[in-house]
Amino acid sequence: MLHFNNLYIDETVKNEELVKFISEKISYVNLHFVSGENHPGDGILLTRNRGAFVKPCPGQKGSVCCGYWVVEWGLGCPFGCEYCIIQNYTGAGDITLFVNWEDCKREIIELRQKVKGPIRLGTGQFGDPMALEKIYPLNTQIIDWTRDFEDFTLEIKTKSDYIEPILLAESAKHVTMAFSLNPLWLIDKLEHGAASLEERLLAARKVATQKNCSLAFHFDPIIPLANWQQSYEEVFNLMAAKLKDLRVNWISLGTFRFPKGFQEYVEKYHPDTQILSEEFYPSEDGKIRYFRPFREKIYNFAREKLEKLFPETAIYICMETPHVWERLNQAKFLSADLKKLLDARIK
Partner 1 sequence: MTNSNQKPQNFLLPLDMVTVSPALERSVRQRGILVPAIGCGQLIIDGHQRIKAALQAGQSHVPVVDIQGEPGLLFAELNQHRALQPFEIVSVFSKVPDSKKGEFCLACNLSTSPQMLRLLDYLAAEYQNFEPQKFNGIPMNIWREIAHLKNFALIKWFVELEGTVSEKRMTASLLRQSDRKNSLPEVIEAKSAREAIDFLNSLVQPRRTAALTKFQNCISEIDIPSGISFKIDQTFDRPGMDFQLHVTRNSVKRFEQAAEIAEKIFAKVEEL
327 binds, among ligand SF4, partner 1, none (CB under 5 to 8 A by kind): partner 1
Note the Cα 8 to chain centre separation in Å.
Answer: 25
User: Three-state SS for 258?
Assistant: strand
Residue closer to ligand SF4, measured from CB, 36 or 80: 80
Q: Which of residues 19, 77, 143, 195 is near ligand SF4 by CB under 6 A?
A: 77
| Sole binder of ligand SF4 in the list 159, 200, 218, 289 (CB under 6 A) | 159
Contacts of 11 (CB under 8 A, 6+ apart): 33, 34, 35
Residue from 118, 127, 224, 254 that binds ligand SF4 (CB under 6 A)? Answer: 127
Q: Least distance in Å: CB of 94 to ligand SF4?
A: 12
- State how far the Cα of 208 lies from the Cα of 248, in Å rounded to an integer: 9
Helix residue ranges, H only, 216-272:
228-242, 262-269
84 binds, among partner 1, ligand SF4, none (CB under 5 to 8 A by kind): ligand SF4
Q: How many CB atoms lie within 10 A of CB 152?
A: 19
Map residue 154 onto helix, strand or coil. strand
Nearer to ligand SF4, 152 or 290 (CB): 290
Smaller CB distance to partner 1: residue 37 or 285? 285
Size of the site for ligand SF4 (CB under 6 A): 11
CA separation, residue 71 to residues 26, 139, 249 (Å): 23, 10, 20
* Site residues (CB under 6 A) for ligand SF4, limited to 189-218: 194
Nearer to ligand SF4, 186 or 194 (CB): 194
How would you classify the pairing of strands 69-71 and 54-56?
antiparallel
Give the contact letters, 314-333, x = binds to partner 1 (CB under 8 A), - = no. Answer: -------x-x---x------
> Within the chain, how many helices (H) and strands (E) appear?
13, 18
- Hey, what amino acid is at 296? E
Q: Which is nearer to partner 1, 33 or 281 (CB)?
A: 281
Q: Which does 284 bind (CB under 5 to 8 A by kind): ligand SF4, partner 1, none?
A: partner 1
Close Cβ partners of 308 (under 8 Å, ≥ 6 residues apart)? none
Residues 236-295 that bind partner 1 (CB under 8 A): 263, 267-268, 276-279, 281-284, 289, 291-294
Q: Exposure pattern of 108-145 as b/e (b: 16+ CB <10 Å)? A: beebbeeeeebbbbbbbbbbbbbbbbebbbbbeebbeb
Compute the distance between CA of residue 70 and CA of residue 55 in angstroms, rounded to an integer: 5
Q: Decide whether 220 or 296 has the Cβ nearer to ligand SF4.
A: 220
Q: Which helix (H) or strand (E) holds 43?
A: strand 43-47
User: By CB under 8 A, how many residues form the interface with partner 1?
Assistant: 19
Element (H, E) at 14: none
Q: Which is nearer to ligand SF4, 65 or 194 (CB)?
A: 194
* Residues contributing to the site for partner 1 (CB under 8 A): 263, 267-268, 276-279, 281-284, 289, 291-294, 321, 323, 327
* Residues contributing to the site for ligand SF4 (CB under 6 A): 77, 79-81, 84, 86-87, 127-128, 159, 194
